[in-house]
A = this chain, B = another copy of it.
Amino acid sequence: MSAIEEKFDRLKTENAPGQESRKSGGDMDKALLGDPIEGRPVDFSHGDVDAFEPTPGSFGLFKQGYEEGGAQAYTEYRGRSLIRDMVAERLAAFTKAPVDADNGMILTPGTQGALFLAIAATITAGDKVAIVEPDYFANRKLVQFFDAEKVPVRLDYADSTEKAGLNLEQLEGAFKQGAKAFIFSNPNNPTGVIYSPDEIAAIAALASKYGATVIADQLYSRLQYSDCPVYSHLRACKGIDPEKIVTIMGPSKTESLSGFRLGVAFGGKSIIERMERLQAIVSLRAAGYSQAVLRSWFAEPEGWMDERIALHQAIRDDLLGRFRASEGISVRTPQAGSYLFPKLPTLSIPPQQFVHALRKQTAVTVTPGNEFAPHSADSIRLNFSQDHQAAVSAVDRLLQLLDRYRL
């Protein structure tokens, strides 16, 4: 294998969310037990934007942007200045700390784009980077892509109720070993837990003590359930150096605007400056006309977000009830976001094979747990931003199939 083949071998995407259609079952089909269980296909690997539609008015704003022509098509690489001004003010109010629209913010092609640029602008080959396990699958891969070294920090989410469960000793250990950066998502993807104010304060204190840069992925931080404890924004935390934190958000999830590919990063000016330089050779800018859609972000119609949250909470609770009624499954209640991360009992087939069987025999797609941490192979992630009834019926089929493969 050549150097480039080896490098990319670590980036395999066959099990990544959304790539299932490119996967062939191969030998796994042989182990299937019983007949298919019919039902409406549900793809829990991402949210269903047909069930939860884009923010009202978003298409109209795109149209306005298109009609504006060149001014909206060709923006600065960091995004159009008047849109940044608008969004910065709202993000400052939401995160409770100032946002510098001109020098401390960049619009990106999706939150993924922001994450890529932020990591690329923070670490170089050989650097150590603390990442949480489990956490969003791309964090690990990005660290690998830049030939940096990941230092895992465990999230003991299953043993905690009052906090996310970050192992702070491991985090300090990572910094002591020389980790230059810490990357984490809050709420955590895939578990949906949020970091307690004490945990956030501890992260701020440790990052500050060791001079580390923090990349906080808060993609899901708007979708907080009524039983969610206080959400703390790290960037608003005392003691954190504003130049050493980048916060990432975007309207792809809760607001269902993924088809426009929009994300935003805000924080340290020199990091944002580097991100823009890189964006100039990666994708130039977030699609010009799409940027106009951000005009409605954090300015949705009165009550719209509350309703969206309530509808998701109802699905969450129905699914949680079903998983918990099935023996041997443990699942923590998500406090924000639309992910469930149940841990399955031991089965007669490996978890990867169960995920395959599920897709093949029940038309239910989930993301295997080892995408998020090496030790999470016995868990599966479901994005329950779906049609309520379809999601419930899909989980019923999932549990029925699970029984078939129980030891």
Contacts and interface: CB of A to CB of B under 8 A. Distances in A.
Interface in A32-91: 46, 48-50, 53, 59, 62-63, 65-66, 69-70, 72-77, 81
A73 to B, nearest CB: 3
Contacts of A396: none
A351 interface: no
Nearest to A292: B259
Interface string A105-143: 000111011011000011111000000000000100110
Contacts of A70: 48-50
Given A113-B282, A259-B66, A276-B13, A18 B76 contact: yes
Contacts of A348: none
Contact of A66 (B3, B59, B75, B138): B59
Contact of A116 (B46, B110, B138, B283): B283
* Interface of chain A, main secondary structure: helix
A24 interface: no
Interface residues of A, number: 70
A399 interface: no
A124 B259 contact: no
A278 to B, nearest CB: 7
Interface centre among A121, A125, A283, by most chain B C-beta atoms within 10 angstroms, is A283
A8 B258 contact: no
A175 to B, nearest CB: 17
Contact of A8 (B5, B66, B121, B286): B121
Given A76-B22, A290-B287, A16 B259 contact: no
Contacts of A122: 4
A259 B288 CA distance: 5
A26 to B, nearest CB: 17
Nearest to A258: B73
A11 interface: yes
A147 interface: yes
Nearest to A122: B4
Closest 10 CB pairs of A and B: A73-B259, A261-B287, A259-B288, A11-B277, A109-B283, A50-B69, A8-B274, A113-B283, A259-B289, A13-B280
20 contacts: A3-B124, A4-B124, A8-B274, A11-B280, A11-B281, A13-B276, A19-B76, A19-B77, A48-B70, A53-B69, A59-B63, A59-B66, A65-B259, A72-B259, A109-B109, A113-B282, A141-B280, A259-B287, A261-B261, A261-B284
Interface of A: 3-5, 7-8, 11-13, 16, 18-19, 21-22, 46, 48-50, 53, 59, 62-63, 65-66, 69-70, 72-77, 81, 108-110, 112-113, 115-116, 121-125, 138, 141-142, 145, 147, 258-261, 270, 273-274, 276-278, 280-290
Given A4-B122, A142-B281, 15 more contacts: A7-B124, A11-B278, A13-B77, A13-B276, A21-B81, A22-B76, A50-B69, A66-B259, A72-B259, A115-B281, A116-B283, A125-B147, A258-B288, A259-B289, A287-B290
